[in-house]
Amino acid sequence: MSQLLAVMFDGVAFGMLLFLISVGLSVTLGMMNFTNLAHGAFAMVGGYVTFALASLAGWPFLATLPVAFLATMAIAAVFERLLFRYIYETGELNQVLFTIGFVFTASATAAYVFGTVHQSVDMPAVLTGFIELGEIKLPSYRLFLVAIALVITVGVVYGLEHTRFGAMVRASVDNQKVARGLGLNVNRIFALTFALGSGLAGLGGALAIEVLGLDPSFGFHILVLVLIVVALGGLGSVWGSFVAALCLGVFDVGGKYFVPELGSFLIYLFMVALLFFRPQGLFGKR
């Protein structure tokens, strides 16, 4: 039983990681209907920021995390102003084409600068090994992941529910036209949300190095998982993404533990079935 709990905890930690990377996309998709397949590329950016600082410049891992968040946010904000804002009105197919092109270019740039090798970073001693709670052994790094994700979830939810900016974001997600009509500068709200969401993805990418590794194709790899979380959770719903990511992590790990023959079948079956009966996702409104 305690073993089972330990395995499930791994699933929870994996889910939290997915949540961090996905939540920004859920909100921006819900707000502007902007199909941003480049979201995973921003996670990759954060990963490489942390790699460059920790492994090349010798910073301690923990100190690189806020920088990964801020740097990715800044880079995303620049690209939003330079490129992305021109394609909000071009329809989802063009957005798919454009953002896929962006991932191609970002991935080639990463390969050129950092090489194709799988990168890793040194962890501080505190985050290696495990902590024993009675009979259960919980890996320290995964505990740390869950803790960070919970703090950020609380922060995001508080920010959305209890701040003026959060109210503006919610209004824009609910009904963009009315929000504009009420005098909200939806484009500026969007730009900020986009940057914040990408920053979170960057943080997620930095945290993912230890779990999933980092290489120039990270932006493509993570994309499918991120899309699953967003679709299952429902567009624009933070809680939806949270629950969906949690389910995905636990379902994936549990499935492999109990029925390893089905391996990676399960999450796709689960997704197809759920979306067929609930196309708007778990918490989606539309």
Partner 1 sequence: MKRTFVPVLATTALLTVTLASTSALAQKTVKIGVTNVYSGQFADPGAQLDAGIKLYMQLHGDTVAGAKIQIIRRDVGGIAPPVAKRLAEELVVRERVDILAGNLLTPNALAVAGVSKDAEKFTVVMNAATPIITTKSPYMVRTSLTTSQLNHHFGEWVAKQGVKNVYTMVTNYGPGTSSGKSFEDAFKKKGGKVVGADKTPVVNPDFSPFVQRVAEAKPEALYVWVPGGTQPPALGKALAERGVTPANTKIFGQGELTDDAALEAMGKVALGIITAYHYNVHRDTPLNTRFVKAYRAANNGRDPDIYSIGGYDGMHLIYEVLKKTGGNTSGKAMIEAAKGMSWESPRGMMSIDPRTRDVVQTVWIREVKMKDGKPANIIIDHIDNAKDPDL
Partner 2 sequence: MSTDPHLWLRHKARVSPYEVAFWIAALIVPYVLLPKYLALASQIAIMATFCISLDLILGYAGIISLGHAAFFGIGAYAAGILSARGWGEPLSGLLFAAVVAGLAGWIIGFMIVRVQHLALLMITLGLSFLAVEVANTFDGLTGGADGLLGIDTWKLFGIWKFSIWGHTSYAYALGVSFLIFLLCRRLVHSPFGLTLEAIRENPQRTTAIGVANRRHLQWVFTLSSSIAGIAGAMLAQTTKTVSLESLGFQNSAEIAVMLILGGTGRLYGAIVGTIIFMVARDQLSGMNPKYWYFWIGILLMMVVLFMPRGILGAMQRLAAKMSRS
Q: How many helices (H) and strands (E) does the chain have?
A: 11, 2
Locate 71 and state its tokens.
């740097």
By CB under 8 A, is residue 228 in contact with partner 2? yes
101 binds partner 1 (CB under 8 A): no
In whole angstroms, give the CA distance from residue 214 to residue 105: 17
CA-CA distance, 143 to 1, in Å (whole number)? Answer: 19
Q: Hey, which residues does 130 pair with through a beta bridge?
A: 139
Q: Does the footprint of partner 2 cover residue 224 (CB under 8 A)?
A: yes
Q: Which is nearer to partner 2, 94 or 175 (CB)?
A: 94
Tell me which of 60, 66, 101, 115 binds partner 1, using CB under 8 A: 115
Partner from partner 2, partner 1, none contacting 279, C-beta within 5 to 8 A by type: partner 2
Choose among partner 2, partner 1, none what residue 109 binds, the Cβ cut-off being 5 to 8 Å by kind.
Answer: partner 2
Q: Are strands 130-133 and 136-139 parallel, antiparallel or unpaired?
A: antiparallel
Q: How many CB atoms lie within 10 A of CB 187?
A: 14
Nearer to partner 2, 2 or 90 (CB): 90
133 binds, among partner 1, partner 2, none (CB under 5 to 8 A by kind): none
SS (H, E, C) 78-146: HHHHHCHHHHCCCCHHHHHHHHHHHHHHHHHHHHHHHCCCCECCCCCHHHCCEEEECCEEEEHHHHHHH
**Complex with partner 2: residue 213 or 263, whichever CB lies closer:** 263
According to the binding rule CB under 8 A, does residue 30 interact with partner 1? no
Q: Which residue has the tokens 């699953």?
A: 228
From the list partner 2, partner 1, none, pick the one residue 53 interacts with, judged by a Cβ distance below 5 to 8 Å according to partner type: none
Under the binding rule (CB under 8 A), the answer on residue 7 touching partner 1 is yes
Task: Tell me the site size for partner 2, rule CB under 8 A.
Answer: 43
Which of these segments, 3-11, 121-129, 184-192, 224-232, binds partner 2 (CB under 8 A)?
224-232
SS (H, E, C) 14-60: HHHHHHHHHHHHHHHHHHHCCCCCCHHHHHHHHHHHHHHHHHHCCCC
The footprint of partner 1 (CB under 8 A) covers 3, 6-7, 10, 14, 108, 111, 115-118, 120, 129-130, 137, 139, 211-213, 215-217, 220-221, 225, 252-254, 256-257, 260-261, 263-264
The footprint of partner 2 (CB under 8 A) covers 29, 83, 86-87, 90-98, 100-109, 111-112, 224, 227-228, 230-231, 235, 263-265, 268-269, 271-272, 275-276, 279-281
